[in-house]
Amino acid sequence: MARSDLHTRVVAVLVAVTVAVFSVGCAKEAKRDDAVPADGGSTTTDVPHNSDSAALDATAAGIGDPYYPELGNGGYDVQHYDLDLTWDPGSSGTVAGRTTIKAKSTEKLESFHLDLLGMQVEEVTVDGESAENRRDGIHELVITPAEAIPDHHSFTVEVTYRGVPRIVDDALIPGLGGWITNNRQVYVASEPDGAASFFPVNDHPSDKATYDIHITAPADLSVVANGTHTGTTDNPDGTRSWSFEMPQPMASYLVQIVIANLRIEESASPAGVPIRHAIDEDVLATGEASMEGTGDMIDFFAEKFGPYPFDVYGGVVIDEPIPFALETQTLTLFPAETDSLTVAHELSHQWFGDDVSPATWKDIWLNEGFATYSSWLWADHAGDASVDDIIAYETDNAGPMDVPPVDPGADDLFNYGSVYVRGALTLHVLRHKIGDDDFFELLQTWVERYGGGSASTQDFEDLAEEVSGDDLTALFDAWLRSDDEPSLDDWLG
């Protein structure tokens, strides 16, 4: 390629980086009018969260997340969710749901909690027997089975409920979390605490489970959800039911359901990984262009990080100018205009965040730092911009990096400078220190060892020392824990 061409493409990618920085950086300021669908539900709810970083112990009402004490619940472990949701756009967007949960107790349970935001609970059974239930605040459903559940006992809970899902004010974008409706369209953006807006759940990435998802909607709309499409049925009342199966464990914030006028496009990566994009017909050409590089990216990341972890991958491109994308498992949520760095970033989350999920929300850099670095590796490989050029650009433009990536605080979970870029730079200096061979062996071993589950920053530091045989305390202290922004020159010299 001629030098001038190369220059043009580097500038194009760096402009794309700017746009990505801009969209994340501006998300906090996103005006409700711009971002929130006109009739997006009746009530906005801010789930309370901790701003200090003290670790909490698990209680019945919370799994012990240092940032979100109400998320998840103690006393049991979920294996499988079967979600059955009927959505009726004609009745203010009411969802009628039946969720069946297969779980195992980790102690004797006289009663236990599920996270469920609002909703009218109609019936709860435990192992087929009707169970007492009451609400404790807006976010907790407390279930008392007829007989206590012994420790280490498998049990099945079925909750029948209905209501208009509340919109959750999440860490990044006020009014854009959970189940979002706009006219005759639905999408989901639950990271970190929106899943409970539409189903009863042990809402924490440390308790992953497999899913079956069944959605009933008006027959003129299409539905797409995580995993493989297993069937569609036309119902006598003019609605249509769609079923999907997600056989690998998934964190609850990664559940995706889109109901819209979608074009489903199936293909495969050059190496044969099945691809399924679902693109809103109203943004078809733009959406297709944005998704174009997906196949090559899958194969590139599979070579670097190990095999693609799930059965299918694709983007669901919606006709909403949302100022972010979200790496929902097997089916990333995208706005129509998405640059290749963001497409690569979200795809790499399938390994980092989705297959290996954060142990707590304080570990968010394990998602965002890794995905950011992965997107730089892609840009470099594609010849769009070298990692060094991107780093030079981001060092000047990413904004302050003076917050420790391991503790951005619940109100600043998606801090771009510190969590995304300083997180990515942590990996870059680590790669420099231990060398390419150990670095990529570390990433592959990370996915092999913790894939399907959740892992902490400590787990990563331990594995890095195990793989490299080096003492990396000083590096991780400076890059992950220091209040001062470390100097790249000190670490790359």
Binding site for Zn ion (CB under 5 A): 368, 371
Tokens representing 47 are 């789930």
Of 196, 124, 185, nearest to 156 (Cα)? Answer: 124
Lookup result for tokens 């249509």: 240
Task: Rule CB under 6 A: choose which of 70, 115, 191, 212 binds ligand ARG.
Answer: 191
d(CA 398, CA 6): 23
Nearer to Zn ion, 208 or 345 (CB): 345
Say if residues 171 and 410 touch (Cβ distance below 8 Å).
Answer: yes
CA distances from 160 to 30, 79, 157, 252, 486 (A): 35, 19, 10, 19, 52
- Phi and psi based region of residue 136 (left: phi greater than 0; alpha: psi -120 to 50; beta: remaining): beta
d(CA 457, CA 476): 10
Site for ligand ARG in 407-446 (CB under 6 A): 414
According to the binding rule CB under 6 A, does residue 16 interact with ligand ARG? no
Site for ligand ARG in 304-343 (CB under 6 A): 324, 326-327
Nearer to Zn ion, 112 or 324 (CB): 324
According to the binding rule CB under 6 A, does residue 40 interact with ligand ARG? no
Nearer to ligand ARG, 126 or 333 (CB): 333
* Smallest distance, ligand ARG to C-beta of residue 37, A: 14
Nearer to ligand ARG, 161 or 310 (CB): 310
Residue 112 has phi, psi (to 5 degrees) of: -155, 165
Strands laid side by side in the 94-105 sheet: 129-130, 120-126, 154-163, 94-105, 76-88, 209-218, 239-250, 228-234
Task: Rule CB under 6 A: choose which of 176, 356, 359, 480 binds ligand ARG.
Answer: 176
According to the binding rule CB under 6 A, does residue 170 interact with ligand ARG? yes
Task: Rule CB under 6 A: choose which of 71, 117, 172, 398 binds ligand ARG.
Answer: 172
Task: Rule CB under 6 A: choose which of 30, 121, 189, 385 binds ligand ARG.
Answer: 189
d(CA 121, CA 135): 9
* Smallest distance, Zn ion to C-beta of residue 352, A: 9
Nearer to ligand ARG, 243 or 357 (CB): 357
Nearer to ligand ARG, 139 or 345 (CB): 345
Residue 404 interacts with which of ligand ARG, Zn ion, none, CB < 5 to 8 Å by class: none
Segment contacting ligand ARG by CB under 6 A, of 92-100, 170-178, 448-456, 461-469: 170-178
Could you say which DSSP state residue 477 is in?
I
Tokens representing 239 are 């609605």
* Smallest distance, Zn ion to C-beta of residue 318, A: 17
Residue 304, classified by CB atoms within 10 Å of its CB into exposed (0-12), middle (13-18) or buried (19+), is middle
Nearer to ligand ARG, 185 or 216 (CB): 185
Which residues of this chain interact with ligand ARG, rule CB under 6 A? 170-173, 176-177, 189, 191, 324, 326-327, 345-346, 349, 371, 414
